Chain A
């Protein structure tokens, strides 16, 4: 049914955005509540490129990811790096501060309203499969999401970078001893996570919307994905995100009067049941 596809598409977006958070949490043990701001940045860059510069959609999205990646590198080098050893509270305070700055900047430059989104022709409309109506854009999102998930798995499991990343996660000291430049790995991982978030933000304008309140509105979702999927666990994040997307869409459809209440109940229950996350394993399952 359409709900399932909507849910899966929603979940894919959540996955794209959350996977970066999962990596920073699992890798650097950094509680980055400002992660949603990178997604928002990607979203606004994309919207700007489309409306002001008339860039084609398929160019604007990677550009958004790139800008988010650059922002990630800059901020990681200048600021985040200083707080890797700080307490979770300090990291939370810091990221709330960053959020405030990002939100107010977005408000200032783009106004408080939802960013309008016009999809390119070839992504509009629906496909008809034996009685089912499937939105093309949603199908597109699911495909992109799955592809990226597979690429990430491959990156971590089969490449040298992935091996170095896993080593740096497991034992930074030993990794340094092996000659791995742990600091550079952290920066690259952060950049990758931010890029994916930016891409998610750009792709998500149509489904999740985009306004200055984006980081705060969705941070709970991202945290749920990471908490349930287990920080640093790609497969876990994917499954958790898809489940969350499905539940959220289904909930909004069948029980609209309950609204966001359920989401928070789910989060609290998940955390109580398994304070370490349901699939808590290291950077590869």
Chain B
């Protein structure tokens, strides 16, 4: 009855967290991009920053199954935190990141008690509501936030006391990419850990988790707080690299577009967030000369088509392609 299990039978799980070759190749791309597209560094920085933002949404949506239409709330909290610090003489970038993460994380922690109740529909509306509340509050507190015109007097000190934020965006680029990679690395460890697996368990069958002894609410509060901190760091990066922050960091369109980017790339595997962001923002950049209504129309159509026909996004299509290739090989 008890024949020893061969190690090979356990390998799929044992090796699940190993770095694949294509992942190494993937992370060479930002390196290469620096040399191949030296004139587009500011766009590339923005892609990296938004990719980090998308990562924050993937953690809660793709892994834990928490639907949110209000991730911009935490992005905005981080952006304003960094902005206010820089406007009041505390412009050190890394300090700004830490404070932003802290403040956004607190925001996430507090709002988790509102958000993690009721059904998916309730959650969608509550996250939307919280984000809009923050937007309206920021709108009214113009002395603090600068309102629609944006916060004035932001002075970002040199990175690590040495690297100035230059006009070509070189410092900004490396700054964004390094922070992105560091937080991606952390996120990758988390999703492959028992904690990460329990989040997936919550998403796949929330009723079963308490039955195997897992404290569901506590886990969700934890990941929601973490995700808020991630979003806050992304917001802070935006402020610091553009030396500007205004109300639109809290706008609904930011949350909606983020959702679109994540779905486009494919939720639930981290790389989908990165790919979706890159594809979306590159397309937007090249098509931005186009009539904005034209862009919005086709964006909407794309969203409808994705939901109807390609629900798992680019990653889903790639997975299907790989499966099809394997079968015909």
* Chain A contacts to B: CB under 8 angstroms: 31, 79, 82-83, 86-90, 92-94, 96-105, 107-108, 216, 220, 223, 227, 257-261, 264-265, 267-268, 271-272, 275-276
The answer to whether B133 and A268 touch across the interface, beta carbons within 8 angstroms, is: yes
Contacts of B252 in A (CB 8 A): 216
Residues of B within 8 A of A272 (CB): 114, 117, 126
Taking the nearest CB of chain B, how far is it from the CB of A114, in angstroms?
Answer: 17
The 8 closest A-B pairs by CB, nearest first: A100-B300, A275-B118, A97-B303, A101-B300, A261-B136, A104-B297, A97-B304, A104-B296
Q: Are B126 and A100 in contact (CB under 8 A)?
A: no
CA distance A105 to B159 in the complex (A): 45
Partner pick for B132 among A94, A104, A220, CB 8 A cutoff: A220
CB of B191 within 8 A of chain A?
no
Partner of B297, one of A105, A227, A276: A105
Q: Whose C-beta in chain B lies nearest to the C-beta of A274?
A: B118
Residues of chain B touching chain A, judged by Cβ–Cβ distance below 8 Å, are 61, 67, 69, 114, 117-122, 124-126, 128-130, 132-133, 136-137, 139-140, 252, 256, 259-260, 263, 293-297, 299-304, 306-308, 311
Cross-chain contact B140 with A275 (CB below 8 angstroms):
no
Q: Which of B117, B120, B301 contacts A88 (CB 8 A)?
A: B120
**Apart from the given pairs A31-B124, A107-B296, A220-B132, 7 other A-B contacts in the complex at a CB distance below 8 Å:** A88-B67, A93-B306, A94-B303, A97-B302, A104-B300, A259-B139, A264-B130
B311 to chain A, nearest CB (A): 7
Partner of B133, one of A99, A101, A104, A264: A264
- Say which residue of B299, B302, B307 sits within 8 Å of A90 (CB atoms): B307
Q: What are 19 A-B contacts defined by CB distance under 8 Å?
A: A31-B121, A79-B308, A88-B119, A89-B120, A93-B260, A96-B260, A97-B300, A97-B302, A98-B300, A103-B296, A104-B296, A107-B293, A258-B140, A265-B129, A268-B129, A271-B118, A271-B122, A271-B125, A275-B119
Contacts of A108 in B (CB 8 A): 293-294, 297
**B contact patch SS:** helix
CB-CB under 8 A from A101, the residues of chain B are 297, 300-301, 304
CB distance from B60 to the nearest CB of A (A): 12
* Residues on the B chain within 8 Å of A271, using CB: 118, 122, 125-126, 129
Which of A96, A98, A99, A275 sits near B122, CB closer than 8 Å?
A275
Query: What chain B residues lie within 8 Å of A223 (beta carbons)?
Result: 125
B307 touches A86 (CB 8 A): yes
| Residues A83 and B126 in contact, CB atoms below 8 Å apart | no
- Chain A contacts for B308, CB-based, 8 A: 79, 82-83, 94
Q: Which of B122, B129, B260, B297 contacts A220 (CB 8 A)?
A: B129
When C-beta atoms are compared, the residue in chain A nearest to B309 turns out to be: A82
Give bound CA distance, A260 to B137, whole Å: 9
